[in-house]
Amino acid sequence: MAGIHLMRNPFRLLSRPHVAFAIIAFFFVGCAPSVRYSRNSAQPAVSSKQYLVPGDWDYRKNYRIPQSRLTAVISSYIGTPYRYGGMSRKGLDCSGLVCLVYREVSHVKLPHSTRRLKNYGRAVPLSQASQGDLVFFKGSSGRVNHVGIFLGNGKFAHASSSNGVIYSNLSEKYYEQRFWGVRRLFK
């Protein structure tokens, strides 16, 4: 039986302070969300982070992006240089911009791929697009290869390969010809 190690006392591991602390901390903190939703209308909200909601309410369907926060976060990326595959303030590509903005604004992790992003959410007609929706464009091959974040009134933010993160308008001939569609991730 050489090489086989049998642990005679499995609770011996708990005698190490850092292991015991980590286990106890996990039980106290766990994976609980920072905002609690309660369906019991008889019990009032006990903190500013607890909300009473109807029984059939689903936060994924009813979530709205905080518009002022979205605008502020996007503005902070304007001028960031383009870097293919990049996902930092040192350089990013179009899907990297979308990922970082959504992560900062709503703590949502999205795929770093335009091809995959075009399948998220639901399609929305351009006439009904609202701030925070994703706008997609196709390349010369006809395949979707570019994404931006719609800001309203035809304006959108995106990472341009030649100019970095900029604002553009859907009415510009280049984008008008390549426009593919709008996807809404949240209500």
Here the tokens at position 2 are 């050489």
Catalytic residue flag (residue 94): yes
Catalytic residue flag (residue 5): no
| Active-site hit among 18, 94, 107, 112 | 94
Catalytic residue flag (residue 158): yes
| Active-site hit among 99, 107, 112, 158 | 158
Using H for helix, E for strand and C for coil, what is the string for the chain?
CCCCCCCCCHHHHHHCHHHHHHHHHHHHHCCCCCCEEECCCCCCCCCCCEEECCCCCCHHHHCCCCHHHHHHHHHHHCCCCECCCCEECCEECHHHHHHHHHHHHHCCCCCCCHHHHCCCCEEECHHHCCCCCEEEEECCCCCEEEEEEEEECCEEEEEECCCEEEEEECCCHHHHHHEEEEEECCC
Here the tokens at position 153 are 């009134």
**Which positions are catalytic?**
94, 146, 158
